[in-house]
Amino acid sequence: MTKVQVRELVFEKFIGVGEINAAVQKIADDINRDYAGKNPLLLAMLNGAFIFASDLMRKITIPCEITFTKYKSYSGTSTTSKVNELIGLNEEIKGRHVIIVEDIVDTGITMEKLLADIRKKEPLDVKIACFCFKPDAFQKTFSIDYLGMRIPNDFIVGYGLDYDGYGRNLPDIYKITK
């Protein structure tokens, strides 16, 4: 098992590049099918989802646009349960199909806040494309429309996911060792 150190923590390889690519392709195929002829707006959550959003966008074959927003609720390896909007949505989305692109949903606190903010702007519909979902940590009731994979409630890094800003550049996903 391959291990990496990110700052003072040690992580072991959990999800490889091949599995990541297959999950992204499946999500893109579903979006291509569901949004054929609709020109959706992808709304990527910074900073974590930028790699997933980039890979996903290259696999989507229908006309679409992308924009970014940034919310934060994590410090270190745990959630603060307080959501801060750091970069807001500036695009007009009234009457648009919006697909939120998120790297991970665990408690759902951040996504719930983003959904509430977006719905105030009257989009035609809002869907969520999420790469990793932690059902054991999930505390909310919204559904994820396009899901890469369900994972245990372990802290992970790589493929855009970080520990205090580090580890995003790892091509595989690693989980913290106990």
Catalytic residues: 106
Residues sharing a CB contact under 8 Å with residue 37, sequence separation 6 or more, in sequence order: 62
Reference 110, options 132, 90, 146, 139; nearest CA is: 139
DSSP assigned state of 40: P
Evaluate whether 152 touches 134 at the Cβ level (below 8 Å): yes
Evaluate whether 30 touches 129 at the Cβ level (below 8 Å): no
Encoded tokens for 21:
């690519």
Mapped onto helix, strand or coil, the DSSP state of residue 42 is strand
Task: Count Cβ atoms below 10 Å from residue 61 Cβ, excluding itself.
Answer: 11
Encoded tokens for 95:
């009457």
Evaluate whether 51 touches 168 at the Cβ level (below 8 Å): yes
